[in-house]
Amino acid sequence: MNIQRFIDARKDQGLSQSELAEGICTQATLSRFENNGHIPNLKILIKLCNRINLPLSELFPKVGVKYSEVVEKMNKAEFFLITSKYERAEALITSIDISQIEDTQLVLRYHYLNGFIMIFQEKLIMDISFTFDQILLEEEKIDTVIFRLLAYTGIGMVYSREGDLIKAEFYFNKVLEKIYNYPAKNMEDTWRVLNIVFQCGVFYAKIDELDISDALLHYAVNICSDNHVTYYLARAAIQLAKNAIVKKEANDKILELIYDARAYSKINRNDIALTELRDLEAFVLEKKPSEE
156 pLDDT higher than 60: yes
- Tell me which fold the domain 68-229 belongs to: 1.25.40
What are the boundaries of each domain within the chain? 3-59, 68-229
Contacts with 192 (C-beta within 8 Å, 6 or more apart), sequence order: 112, 146, 149, 150, 184
What share of the chain in percent tops pLDDT 70? 96
The model's pTM? 0.70
Contacts with 50 (C-beta within 8 Å, 6 or more apart), sequence order: none
Over residues 40-92, the pLDDT tens digits come to: 888 899 899 999 999 887 787 554 445 688 888 999 999 888 878 899 999 99
- In angstroms, the CA 1 to CA 13 distance is 20
pLDDT at 73: 92
- Tell me which fold the domain 3-59 belongs to: 434 Repressor (Amino-terminal Domain) (1.10.260)
The letter for the amino acid at 253 is K
29 pLDDT higher than 50: yes
What is the dihedral angle through the alpha carbons of 29, 31, 35, 41, rounded to the nearest 10 degrees? 30
- In angstroms, the CA 1 to CA 59 distance is 5
